[in-house]
């Protein structure tokens, strides 16, 4: 896996970009397809829900209409008519489990009390007499059918002419509406909490189920059904129903798709993170290559100078005057110092290869260490007309530090202040205690750092842009090295700077316990 990742880092940038584009298009295409599939599934479930509700409400309206018709027939068929005498026994109407009335069986129980024709058939009569008797019987049955049909038509006409003018609260039983609605919804597979209200012809809410006000909201989707749709009145009564948990019901139907979407999102996040890491490693690899190339060149120059000076000293054909020896020794000395600085840069580079550096911690007096560093650095500052001021107020100044690395970071910050000064440098170094920490500040009056650059100055290989000016050489490792060493000492570092006014670095390290 590591080899594969390294191989990706060394791939050409165009190949990485092409690979990233292909993977991104694939992931986003998959996400779009999943989103559309989830949307279509949710729409389909919502449509099925709506159809089931409409079917249930239509069943409620139909049941209420049948109930009213049967009650009216029961009331009128038990009353003697001027046209036909009906038995006084009240009819009984039965309902099947789905509310279908056995009207035909009930009507069969009614019998007329009119005297039936008595027809006596004698064996002595001929075939003509039998046919005549059959014809008479059929005529009587036809007359009876016409009379009963007329009776039912009269009753139904009175039903239609009288019922629709009555108030809705007299035509239905609200508790019965609730029971029928529950039964119809359950029959259609919608066993969900629901609330309903009855709206009369004038649009007034005359009844609402318990909890209707508490559960209702402005965004609820209401379903309406006309009650008694066959009434001739243009103004109709309405049954209005809503389901507070409809959204949860629809989302619950997508329970298998939600984990899939979550895992796809995690894969997308992993892909984005991997691509960012790859580009970052690619950039660091390129910068590291440039660094090594520059460092190789920088190392070759002092080595060549030292080698040339040594050859001149060893060449017996060249007269060795005191002035010449002094000049060659000066070249060797300066180039040796330059070579030492470059070697320190390489050592600083190597410290980044490990998450935690192998520090040799010893108890040291930080105030004494800063005095020593300042004294050694004062020569360089005074040569440029600058000054160094120290204000060592830390009373508890002992801490566990690596002498070499800690000296390097203080020297590095002071050297940066000298490099980026715009005139005579005024360098102010201060120490003080704060809680259980020792704080060190190094402040200068240099060119300062922009706000946009302050967040990145501790990144590896990052250098503050100075336009077309290249008077200060470097590799962008100094402050990154400082941050790494301070962090390894379990401390913190921050910067305060203002352009053209100066910069202050504040280091905080824990005191020795």
- pLDDT tens, position by position, 433-480: 998 899 999 999 988 888 888 888 887 767 666 544 445 555 567 788
Residue indicated by tokens 């069943």 = 59
Residues sharing a CB contact under 8 Å with residue 423, sequence separation 6 or more, in sequence order:
445
> How many residues belong to the chain?
513
CATH for 361-465+473-510 is 3.30.565.10
What's the pLDDT score for residue 354? 57
Maximum average pLDDT range among 22-26, 231-235, 450-454, 490-494: 490-494
What's the pLDDT score for residue 294? 67
pLDDT average, residue stretch 311-326: 80
Higher-pLDDT residue of 300 and 201 is 201
What's the pLDDT score for residue 383? 80
What's the pLDDT score for residue 3? 44
DSSP summary character for residue 448: -
Residue 428 has pLDDT above 90, yes or no: yes
What's the pLDDT score for residue 424? 87
Residues sharing a CB contact under 8 Å with residue 496, sequence separation 6 or more, in sequence order:
503, 504, 506
pLDDT average, residue stretch 197-220: 73
Neighbours of 488 (CB within 10 A): 18
Q: Which residues pair with 241 in a beta bridge?
A: 196, 223
Look at 58-62, 89-93, 350-354, 450-454 and tell me which has the smallest mean pLDDT: 89-93
Q: pLDDT tens-digit profile of 66-110? A: 887 777 767 666 554 434 443 333 334 343 444 434 444 443 444
Confidence of residue 195 (pLDDT cuts 50, 70, 90): confident
CA distance 513 to 495: 27
Token pair of 477 as six digits: 């490792």
Q: Which residues pair with 506 in a beta bridge?
A: 441, 494
Confidence of residue 192 (pLDDT cuts 50, 70, 90): confident
Task: Identify which of 283, 418, 415, 408 has the alpha carbon closest to the alpha carbon of residue 347.
Answer: 408
Neighbours of 57 (CB within 10 A): 23
CA distance 212 to 116: 60
Asked whether 195 and 244 are in contact (CB, 8 A), the reply is yes
pLDDT average, residue stretch 180-206: 86
CA distance 150 to 163: 20
Residue 254 has pLDDT above 80, yes or no: no
CATH for 257-351 is 1.10.287.130
Residue 509 has pLDDT above 90, yes or no: yes
CA distance 363 to 371: 16
Residue indicated by tokens 């911690």 = 361
pLDDT average, residue stretch 359-365: 88
What's the pLDDT score for residue 469? 42
- Secondary structure (DSSP) of 93-145: --B-TT--B-HHHHHTT--B-SPPPP----TTS-HHHHHHHHHHHHHHHHHHH
CA distance 229 to 225: 9
Residue indicated by tokens 């006084």 = 88
What's the pLDDT score for residue 297? 65
What's the pLDDT score for residue 476? 66
What does pTM read for this prediction? Answer: 0.44
Dihedral sign (CA 303, 305, 308, 310): negative
What's the pLDDT score for residue 370? 92
- Secondary structure (DSSP) of 246-262: HHHHHHHTTTTHHHHHH
Neighbours of 95 (CB within 10 A): 13
Asked whether 461 and 477 are in contact (CB, 8 A), the reply is yes
What's the pLDDT score for residue 20? 77
Residue 266 has pLDDT above 50, yes or no: yes
CA distance 221 to 232: 29
Arithmetic mean of pLDDT over the chain = 76
Strands 222-227 and 237-242: antiparallel
Neighbours of 107 (CB within 10 A): 14
Task: Identify which of 155, 148, 153, 154 has the alpha carbon closest to the alpha carbon of residue 68.
Answer: 155
Residue 359 has pLDDT above 50, yes or no: yes
Asked whether 386 and 415 are in contact (CB, 8 A), the reply is no
Distances (CA, A) of 306 to 25, 173, 311, 320: 58, 113, 9, 17
Confidence of residue 350 (pLDDT cuts 50, 70, 90): low
CA distance 90 to 88: 6
Write down the domain spans for the chain: 257-351, 361-465+473-510
Q: pLDDT tens-digit profile of 286-308? A: 777 766 766 676 677 778 778 88
Q: Which helix (H) or strand (E) holds 401?
A: strand 398-402
Q: pLDDT tens-digit profile of 133-191? A: 888 888 888 888 887 777 766 666 666 555 566 777 777 888 888 889 889 988 988 88
What's the pLDDT score for residue 189? 85
pLDDT average, residue stretch 318-329: 80
Sheet holding 205-208, edge to edge: 205-208, 195-199, 237-242, 222-227
Q: Which helix (H) or strand (E) holds 387?
A: strand 387-392
What is the percent of the chain with per-residue pLDDT over 90, rounded to a whole number? Answer: 11
What's the pLDDT score for residue 433? 93
Distances (CA, A) of 465 to 326, 454, 462: 40, 12, 9
CATH topology of 257-351 equal to that of 361-465+473-510?
A: no
């Amino acid at each position: 896996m590591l080899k594969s990742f390294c191989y990706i880092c060394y791939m050409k940038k165009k190949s990485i970009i092409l690979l990233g584009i292909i993977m991104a298009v694939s992931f986003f295409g998959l996400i779009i397809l999943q989103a559309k599939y989830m949307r279509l599934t949710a729409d389909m479930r919502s449509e099925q829900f709506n159809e089931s509700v409409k079917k249930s409400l239509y069943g409620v309206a139909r049941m209420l209409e049948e109930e009213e018709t049967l009650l009216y027939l029961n009331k009128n068929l038990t009353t003697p008519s001027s046209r036909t005498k009906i038995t006084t026994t009240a009819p009984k109407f039965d309902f099947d489990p789905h509310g279908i009335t056995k009207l035909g069986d009930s009507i069969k129980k009614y019998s007329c009390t009119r005297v039936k024709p008595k027809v006596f058939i004698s064996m002595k009569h001929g075939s003509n007499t039998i046919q005549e008797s059959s014809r008479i019987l059929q005529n009587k049955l036809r007359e009876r059918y016409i009379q009963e049909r007329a009776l039912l038509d009269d009753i139904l006409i009175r039903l239609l002419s009288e019922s629709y003018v009555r108030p809705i609260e007299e035509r239905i039983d609200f508790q019965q509406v609730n029971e029928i609605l529950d039964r119809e919804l359950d029959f259609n597979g919608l066993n969900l909490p629901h609330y309903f209200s009855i709206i009369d012809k004038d649009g007034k809410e005359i009844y609402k189920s318990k909890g209707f006000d508490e559960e209702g909201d402005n965004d609820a989707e209401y379903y309406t059904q006309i009650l008694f749709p066959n009434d001739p009145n243009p103004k109709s009564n309405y049954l209005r129903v809503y389901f507070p948990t409809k959204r949860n019901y629809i989302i619950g139907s997508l329970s298998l798709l939600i984990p899939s979407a979550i895992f796809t999102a995690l894969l997308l996040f992993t892909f984005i993170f991997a691509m960012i890491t790859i580009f970052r490693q690619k950039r660091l690899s390129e910068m590291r290559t440039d660094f090594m190339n520059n460092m190789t060149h920088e190392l070759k120059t002092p080595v060549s100078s030292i080698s040339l000076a040594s050859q001149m000293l060893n060449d017996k054909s060249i007269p060795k005057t005191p002035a010449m020896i002094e000049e060659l020794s000066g070249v060797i000395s300066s180039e040796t110092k330059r070579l030492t600085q470059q070697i320190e840069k390489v050592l600083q580079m190597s410290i980044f290869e490990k998450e935690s550096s192998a520090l040799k911690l010893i108890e040291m007096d930080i105030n004494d260490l800063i005095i020593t560093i300042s004294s050694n650095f004062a020569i360089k500052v005074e040569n440029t007309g600058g000054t160094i001021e120290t204000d060592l107020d830390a009373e508890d100044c002992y801490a566990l530090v690596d002498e070499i690395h800690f000296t390097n970071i203080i020297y590095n910050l002071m050297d940066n202040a000298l490099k980026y000064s715009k005139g005579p440098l005024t360098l102010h170094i201060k120490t003080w205690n704060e809680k259980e920490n020792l704080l060190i500040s190094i402040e200068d009056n240099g060119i300062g750092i922009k706000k946009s650059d302050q967040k990145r100055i501790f990144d590896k290989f990052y250098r503050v842009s100075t336009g077309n000016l290249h008077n200060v050489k470097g590799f962008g490792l100094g402050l990154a090295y400082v941050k790494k060493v301070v962090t390894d000492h379990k401390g913190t570092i921050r910067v305060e700077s203002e352009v053209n006014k100066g910069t202050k670095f504040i280091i905080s390290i824990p005191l020795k316990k």
